[in-house]
Amino acid sequence: MEGDLFSIISRGAKFDKRRFGKDIALFKPQSSSTQNYDYEVEKQEKKDNDDIKPRGKRKRITQDSIDIDSSIRLLQEIDFFQNSRQALKSVLIGLCDDNDNKDHEKDKKKTKIQTDLKAKEEQKQESKIGASVNSFKNQEEVQTFRKKHRIRVYGTDIPYPFRSFQDLVTQYEIKPYLQKNLQNAGYSLPTPIQIQCIPVSLHERDLMGLAPTGSGKTLAYLLPILHDLKGPEKMGYRALIISPTRELAQQIYREIKKLSIGKKFKICMLTKASAATIAQTPQLRQKFDILISTPLRLVHAISKENIELKNVRHLVLDEADKLLELGFLEQTDEIINACSNPRIVKSLYSATLPSGVESLANTIMKDPIRVVVGVKNAATETIKQKLLFVGQEEGKLIAIRQLIQQGFKPPVLIFVQSIERAKELFHELIYDGISVDVIHSERTKAQRDSIVLNFMQGKIWVLIATELMARGMDFKGVNLVVNYDFPQSVQSYIHRIGRTGRAGRNGEAVTYFTKDDAPFLKSVVNVMKESGCEVPDWMLTLKPPPQNSKKQVRQKPIDRHKISTVSKYDLEKIKRKREIIEASKKRKATTASDIQSTEKNKRNKSKNNNSTNIKDQEDNSYGTSDAEKPKTKNVKSKLDIK
């Protein structure tokens, strides 16, 4: 083997070997310590080469005593740019060219080696991107398939999509229990977001998944988690799902329970009660595999050192843009910091992602893949959207009563901008002879749970809601969404109306607007147009509102008149009467015993303050003040918060 490398690189040239003896010696195999290193390299390369060469048909192919294996090894040593495969191929071709005149047997061997090298390289590439050779023949086919499903992908080494849940079994060995649960849930074919995002997550890549409302994003992140966790293990939380509202967290909990039937995963939905149990029973903490929580509840538990997230391998931010908005941002950041496992895989999902938030999201992910289904920041195409001018505020009540009188198809969801207005509208509609209820953060948790259930079961026909219900809630059968109050942002509009037209069903959405809302109309008009709805020409010529007024409205909604059929004069009269009663009550309350009880109440109130704050934030998606936030460890920010 001596001088092999020299033989290879000097082929075709003549050298005075005596004169250049010293130089040639440089190419001879080294001894002592480097030899050990060489031995290791050689061992590895031998393994590689064993794979490359056809079994049992190895050894010499040239008369020059050039052994292919040693050539490969030596060539790899001089492969400074790590192009060994390419270099190998070309040199091997060169080698063989040199021996053109040699016997036919050698040529056959050469061709075989080349073919094997090529196949190995292709195989390596395929396994890197996780495609099954059976499923897609080539990249072109993949692209056509993505195009058909309106999937756009951004990033490097993007895994191939899959065609059917059966493909997941053959390609990724999805366990039979998962397969069975998919069938039982009636999921016969994957939705576009699932088609592309499931393989990305199965390849443990950070991901940003954007797809319209009701398109199956939940399954897209739950399935890879369940597959990867394999089964229950008592090593603490290995997957964490964050949702902006308690109701959505509960829905995710129900979905994961449904999908994990047959495996005894321990799933914890962090509530006030479960947090207290965990605090009192530290040994419980190790038992759980999956944790679902709202941000503030979790931050509170972390700060009390009741929850450890160091083993979390999967972190999902559902409704990611909301969680990265002011009000949630700092808590989300603290949670991300607490997930200290270096091998963590992060997945962010939403139907909307403003570009500013997207750049922020990129700072917390490693080499992420972005998957966009359909048009970014547009509404689902199965929703028929309408805008209705109602003149003044009072016009809305007339319009909603007309809608009820004309006959409507329940269930209907009506969105208003505040708790106060939700209560007001409820008091108006309760006497209209329809089954109506109202949901907002001031209702007890038990009330909220039963309302959600009753609405899902069709027992409530009309549900009046605040922004609390706008995101993620999967009320499959909702036929109509009414935006009684104009939404405060285009994202809010998309999510609100997305409570209808889910999972391929048809739905309708009507948005009332007054003179005051007119400047903000253009953003909604754009969404309507993007989603294929008819929009009057004059609306298309509207000017978009200035950026700062958009921002103002996002932070604080437009002031509106009280929702009431009572005239303004009568309302004033009632108000004055109420003030007189209040003043007289106050006077009576100045006795010593009252003062004492007030003090006692105050003390109790301050005790419960933390938990009350948590409740408030779960419902109020427009944030909390610094004073309300629980104290947490002073951790370095992972997010690039500017």
- Where do contacts with ligand ATP occur on this chain (CB under 6 A)? 187, 189-191, 194, 211, 213-219, 351, 472, 474, 476, 498, 502-503
Query: Going by C-beta distance under 8 Å and a sequence separation of 6 or more, which residues neighbour residue 550?
Result: 489, 520, 523
Give how far Cα 41 sits from Cα of 26, 57, 82, 116, 367, Å: 19, 23, 15, 21, 30
Q: Please report how close the Cβ of residue 495 comes to ligand ATP at its closest, in angstroms.
A: 7
Nearer Cβ to ligand ATP (214/630): 214
Give how far Cα 118 sits from Cα of 52, 100, 128, 160, Å: 9, 21, 15, 20
| DSSP calls for 9-24 | HTTT----TTTTHHHH
Nearer Cβ to ligand ATP (84/350): 350
Omega prior to 411 cis, within 30 of 0: yes
Nearer Cβ to ligand ATP (260/632): 260
CA distance 406 to 447: 30
CA distance 292 to 287: 15
Q: Please report how close the Cβ of residue 165 comes to ligand ATP at its closest, in angstroms.
A: 8
503: left (phi over 0), alpha (psi -120 to 50) or beta: left
Number of other residues whose CB lies within 10 A of the CB of residue 398: 13
Q: Please report how close the Cβ of residue 39 comes to ligand ATP at its closest, in angstroms.
A: 53
Q: What single-letter amino acid sits at 89?
A: K
CA distance 500 to 474: 9
Query: Going by C-beta distance under 8 Å and a sequence separation of 6 or more, which residues neighbour residue 524?
Result: 387, 486, 487, 490, 493, 511
Nearest residue to 484 via CA among 461, 499, 464: 464
Nearer Cβ to ligand ATP (95/219): 219
Nearer Cβ to ligand ATP (201/624): 201
- The answer to whether the CB of 512 falls within 8 A of the CB of 486 is yes
CA distance 96 to 109: 10
- The answer to whether the CB of 294 falls within 8 A of the CB of 445 is no
Q: Please report how close the Cβ of residue 87 comes to ligand ATP at its closest, in angstroms.
A: 46
Give how far Cα 569 sits from Cα of 35, 374, 564, Å: 100, 51, 12
Nearer Cβ to ligand ATP (295/472): 472
Nearer Cβ to ligand ATP (487/630): 487
Helices 165-172 and 176-184 cross at an angle (nearest 10°) of 170
Nearer Cβ to ligand ATP (66/223): 223
Q: Please report how close the Cβ of residue 330 comes to ligand ATP at its closest, in angstroms.
A: 23
Q: Please report how close the Cβ of residue 136 comes to ligand ATP at its closest, in angstroms.
A: 20
- The answer to whether the CB of 360 falls within 8 A of the CB of 639 is yes
Nearer Cβ to ligand ATP (495/560): 495
CA distance 129 to 200: 9
310 alpha-carbon distance from chain centroid = 20
Sheet architecture: strand order including 207-210: 151-154, 369-373, 207-210, 345-350, 314-318, 239-242, 290-293, 267-269
- The answer to whether the CB of 263 falls within 8 A of the CB of 348 is no
Length of the chain: 642
Nearer Cβ to ligand ATP (219/528): 219
- The answer to whether the CB of 213 falls within 8 A of the CB of 494 is yes
Nearer Cβ to ligand ATP (162/513): 162
Nearer Cβ to ligand ATP (70/218): 218
Nearer Cβ to ligand ATP (152/561): 152
Q: Where are the beta strands (DSSP E) in 188-279?
A: 207-210, 239-242, 267-269
Nearer Cβ to ligand ATP (189/446): 189
62 alpha-carbon distance from chain centroid = 57
- The answer to whether the CB of 364 falls within 8 A of the CB of 638 is yes
